[in-house]
């Protein structure tokens, strides 16, 4: 079966759109109608005219698309495509934590469940987090959830003291300074770029820190021949496509392995995507009230991002 052709036929028939994150396998990235980072994907989901959205990403992303489009069908090729970061922040425990700090507002990274989104005041992504934090007065008390690495990085850049939930992304958090330093020794001419989900000591060694889209743009707008990328492997596909003459090296987990693949992102395959479109399943369904409450902080994020000229 030629999945690419069959998917194209079904998309037309059903007025469907494929939204894909940069961490998807290259074959999926290449057939996406929109390929982007979480901020771009949220914007694409908010603006689509399609009747069916196939979200080639993980569960929290498809949930976000459903929350923004409660009357549309949102499909996720593999319902088990979760996220360690989202899982590190269960709504029941977070709710108890939040109750202890009634004078704090809650800013949550988009990598969280709808249950956390409904407990949040504003959602942020790695593409707008610093600017959104800075849009609040300096004396505003803030809880930041769920990523302690991104939160710590924002605290460091902005000089704030946000209270951090203790969550991490298992893919980025495992990258070590040792592996990065070893790779840099072998490639002293390479620029080091890192995603803010990496931990502080790794970020401290980077020449540039940013979201997947920001890193991609940086590789297009600078003239280095080589880049060491402290992030997930998927992003290298688009980097290499946009700059075929440059070399991209991913920071290995350790000396023997370069397994920087997010196990959840990589659950989606062309076959599963084809079947999802054909069967219109697995579909994301959420409680109406949860969707209404979770929508407010996402819409706020999009409005602030627009106001700040970020989208
Ligand atoms: P961004 O694509 O928004 O940078 O997020 C990275 C990520 O880990 C998505 O799960
Ligand atoms: Fe979650 Fe990390 Fe995978 Fe992104 S890369 S989906 S944050 S586990």
**Could you state, in order of their start, the residue ranges of all structural domains in the chain?**
3-83+265-286, 85-168+295-307, 175-250
Predicted confidence at residue 252, as pLDDT, reads: 79
Lowest mean pLDDT among 35-44, 141-150, 238-247: 35-44
For residue 190, report the distance from its CA to the centre of ligand 1, in Å.
Answer: 23
Per-residue pLDDT tens over the stretch 170-200: 999 999 999 999 999 999 999 999 999 999 9
pLDDT given for residue 255 in this prediction: 60
251 vs 34, residue with greater confidence? 34
Structure confidence at residue 256 as a pLDDT band (50, 70, 90): low
Q: How far is the CA of 212 from the centre of ligand 1 (A)?
A: 6
Q: DSSP states of the chain as a string? A: --HHHHHHHHHHHHTEEEEEETTS-HHHHHH-SEEE-HHHHHHHHHH---SEEEEES-HHHHHHHHHH-TTSEEE-S-TT---HHHHTS-HHHHHHHHHT-TT-EEEEESSS-HHHHTT-SEEE-TTTHHHHHHTS-TT--EEEESBHHHHHHHHHHHT---EE--B--HHHHT--HHHHHHHHHH-TTPEEEE-TTS-HHHHHT-SEE--HHHHHHHHHHS--SEEEEES-TTHHHHHHHH-TTSEEEEPPSBTTB-----TTGGG--HHHHHHHHHHT-SB----HHHHHHHHHHHHHHHHHHHHTT--
Q: Is 3-83+265-286 CATH 3.40.800.10?
A: no
Mean of the pLDDT values across residues 28-41? 96
Q: Which CATH number does the domain 175-250 belong to among 2.60.120.460, 3.40.50.150, 3.40.50.10800, 3.40.630.30? A: 3.40.50.10800
CA 214 – ligand 2 centroid, Å: 17
Q: Is the CB of 111 under 6 A from ligand 2?
A: yes
- pTM of the model as a whole: 0.95
So what's the architecture of 85-168+295-307 in CATH?
Answer: 3-Layer(aba) Sandwich (3.40)
Mean pLDDT of 28-49: 95
């Amino acid at each position: 079966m030629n999945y690419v052709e069959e998917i194209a036929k079904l998309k037309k028939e059903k007025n469907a759109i494929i939204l894909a994150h940069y961490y998807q396998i290259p074959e999926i990235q290449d057939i996406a109608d929109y390929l982007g980072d979480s901020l771009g994907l949220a914007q694409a989901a908010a603006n689509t005219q399609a009747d069916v959205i196939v979200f080639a990403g993980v569960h929290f992303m498809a949930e976000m698309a459903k929350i923004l489009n409660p009357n549309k069908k949102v499909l996720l090729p593999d319902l088990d495509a979760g996220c360690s970061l989202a899982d590190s922040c269960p709504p029941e425990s977070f709710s108890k934590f939040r109750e202890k700090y009634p004078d704090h507002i809650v800013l949550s990274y988009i990598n969280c469940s709808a249950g956390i989104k409904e407990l949040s005041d504003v959602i942020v992504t790695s593409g707008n987090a610093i600017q959104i934090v800075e849009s609040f007065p300096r004396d505003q008390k803030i809880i930041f959830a769920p990523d302690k690495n991104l939160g710590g990085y924002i605290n460091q850049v902005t000089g704030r003291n946000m209270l951090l939930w203790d969550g991490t992304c298992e893919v980025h958090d495992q990258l070590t300074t040792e592996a990065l330093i070893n790779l840099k020794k072998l490639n002293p001419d390479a620029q080091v770029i890192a995603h803010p989900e990496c931990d502080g000591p790794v970020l401290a060694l980077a020449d540039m820190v940013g979201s997947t889209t920001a890193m991609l743009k940086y590789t297009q707008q600078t003239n280095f021949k080589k880049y060491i990328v402290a992030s997930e492997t998927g992003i290298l596909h688009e980097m290499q496509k946009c700059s075929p003459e440059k070399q991209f090296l991913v920071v290995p987990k350790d000396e023997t392995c370069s397994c920087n693949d997010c196990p959840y992102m990589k659950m989606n395959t062309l076959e599963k995507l084809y079947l999802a479109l054909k069967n219109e399943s697995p579909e994301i369904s959420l409680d109406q009230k949860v969707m209404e409450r979770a929508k407010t902080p996402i819409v706020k994020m999009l409005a602030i991002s627009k106001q700040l000229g970020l989208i």
